Amino acid sequence: MTQHHRDRPDIVGGVDTHKDLHMAAVVDKHDRVLGTASFPTTRHGYKAMLAWMRGFGEVSRVGIECTGTYGAGLLRYLQRTGIATLEVTTPDKTVRRKRGKNDTIDAENAAHAAYAGIRTVTPKTRDGMIEALRVLKVCRKTAVAARRVALQMIQTQVISAPEELRDQLRNMTRMQLIRTLAAWRPDLSGYRDVTMAYRIALKSLARRYLELHDEVADLNVMIKAIVDELAPELVSRTAVGYESAAQLLITAGDNPDRIGSEASFAALCGVSPIPASSGKTQRHRLNRGGDRAANSALHIIAIGRLRLDATTQAYVSRRVTEGHSKLEAIRCLKRYIARELYYVLRHRYREINQTQIAT
C-alpha cells in the first residue's frame, strides 16, 4: 500500500436503492455523516458514486439495501471493483419512529448499519450458475401459474358453454380436452354468435395452455442440467427432487461460504427452533422467518421421506409417542434434513472450488 493510501481516512458508505436513482451516504471512522448525494442507476452512475465516496477517503465497505432487486446492478459493479459489500436488512423500527423516513435518512441508516456491522449480512454474489438457475426457476414458476390459470379458465368456460359444446367436452380427460380444443377451426368472422365466441375463446385458451406446457418442459430440462452439474449428490438423496434441490441451491447462493455453519443454514431456511422458555417452562416456538421457499422445499422432502423411508417413519413415530404432535415431529425432521443437506452442499462446493483452482 502506498503512503498516499495509508494517509487517507477510512470511510463507510451506505446506499438506499431505487429503480432510477440511488441515494448514497458516507460516514467517517467515528460514524459521523460526511455527505449524501443521489446517482442514476446506470454504469456511469455507479462509477460516479464510487468516485464521490472515494473523495472522502478510502472506502472500507459499503452497505446496500435490496441487493436482490434494485441494488443488484450496484452490487455487481462494486464487487468487480473489489469493494467489500454488505446487504443491509430491515431498518430499525425504533430509529425510524424517532427520525422518520426519507431517502437521505435511509441512506444514512444504511451507512450507520454497515459501520456498526448490525442489520447486515453477506450478500449473494449473483454472478454464477446459481443466479442463472434462479432466473430460470422464476420463469418456470410464472409459466406454471399462467398454465394453471389457463386450465381453470377452460374448465370454467366449458361449464357455462352452450349445451351442444358442453355435451361434447364434459367427459373428456384434461389432455383430451386440451388437444381437442386446440384442434378446433372456428370461423373467426362469426365472433358475434355466442357458440362461435365460445369456440374461439376455448381454442385460444387451449393453445395458450399447450404453449405454456412446452415452455415449462423446456425450462425443466435446463434446470435439471444445472442441478446435475452443480450438485448431483443432492438429488441422489432420498425424496430430494430437482425442484427442491434447485431451491436449496438458490438459497445457499453462488457463495455459500457466507453461511458459517449448519445452524446458520437452518436459520436461513426457517427451520431452526426459537427458544420461548420462561421460568420452569422450557419450550421452543416455530421459526416463521428465513427463506420460505427453502422452508417449503424442506417440508416437501420431509413428507416424501415420511412416505418412503423406514428410518424417518420410525423417528416420527417415536416423537409422537413422546407426546409431540405429528406436525411438531415433522418440524424436528426438517431441522435434521437441513443439517444433512448443508454438509452435502458444502462438500460439493469445496469440490467445485478445488477444481477451479486446479484449472
| 3-class SS of residue 39 | strand
Grade residue 358 by pLDDT with cuts at 50, 70 and 90: low
* Separation CA 75–CA 295 (nearest Å): 26
pLDDT at residue 5 in the model: 52
**What does the mean pLDDT of the chain come to?**
91
User: Backbone phi, then psi, for 30, in 5-degree steps?
Assistant: -105, 10
Residue at grid coordinates 427432487: 241
pLDDT at residue 353 in the model: 63
pLDDT at residue 1 in the model: 46
* Separation CA 112–CA 120 (nearest Å): 11
Number of Cβ within 10 Å of residue 261's Cβ equals: 11
Q: What is the pLDDT of residues 9-21, one digit of tens each?
A: 999 999 999 999 9
Residue at grid coordinates 443521489: 38
Sign (positive or negative) of CA dihedral 306, 310, 315, 318: positive
| DSSP classification of residue 281 | B
Residue at grid coordinates 430499525: 92
Q: What is the pLDDT of residues 110-122, one digit of tens each?
A: 999 999 998 898 8
CB within 8 Å of 154: residues ≥ 6 apart:
177, 178, 181, 202, 205, 206, 209
Across the range 246-253, mean pLDDT stands at 94
**Percent of the chain residues past pLDDT 90, beyond the cut:** 77
Among residues 205, 198, 96, the alpha carbon closest in space to that of 147 is found at 205
Q: What is the pLDDT of residues 274-332, one digit of tens each?
A: 887 777 777 777 788 899 999 999 999 999 999 999 999 999 999 999 998 999 999 99
* Separation CA 74–CA 63 (nearest Å): 11
pLDDT at residue 330 in the model: 94
* Separation CA 269–CA 292 (nearest Å): 7
pLDDT at residue 82 in the model: 93
User: What string of DSSP letters covers 143-183?
Assistant: HHHHHHHHHHHHHHHHHHS-HHHHHHHTT--HHHHHHHHHH
Query: What's 3-121's CATH class?
Result: alpha beta
**Percent of the chain residues past pLDDT 70, beyond the cut:** 95
pLDDT at residue 349 in the model: 78
Whether residue 63 contacts residue 114, with contact meaning beta carbons closer than 8 Å, is answered with yes
Number of Cβ within 10 Å of residue 102's Cβ equals: 11
Q: How far apart are the first and last CA of the chain?
A: 30
- Residue extents of the structural domains in the chain: 3-121, 129-230, 233-358
User: Backbone phi, then psi, for 38, in 5-degree steps?
Assistant: -110, 150
Using CB atoms within 10 Å of the CB of residue 328, give its burial: 0 to 12 exposed, 13 to 18 middle, 19+ buried. middle
pLDDT at residue 276 in the model: 77
Across the range 124-144, mean pLDDT stands at 93
Among residues 212, 209, 36, 160, the alpha carbon closest in space to that of 109 is found at 36
Among residues 56, 26, 21, the alpha carbon closest in space to that of 39 is found at 21
* Separation CA 61–CA 164 (nearest Å): 70
pLDDT at residue 115 in the model: 96
Among residues 61, 36, 60, the alpha carbon closest in space to that of 49 is found at 36
Across the range 143-163, mean pLDDT stands at 96
Whether residue 65 contacts residue 88, with contact meaning beta carbons closer than 8 Å, is answered with yes
Among residues 70, 189, 67, 50, the alpha carbon closest in space to that of 123 is found at 67
Grade residue 233 by pLDDT with cuts at 50, 70 and 90: very high
Number of Cβ within 10 Å of residue 244's Cβ equals: 25
pLDDT at 154 over 90: yes
CB within 8 Å of 88: residues ≥ 6 apart:
14, 63, 64, 65, 109, 110, 113, 114, 119, 120
Beta strands in 197-283 (DSSP E): 274-275
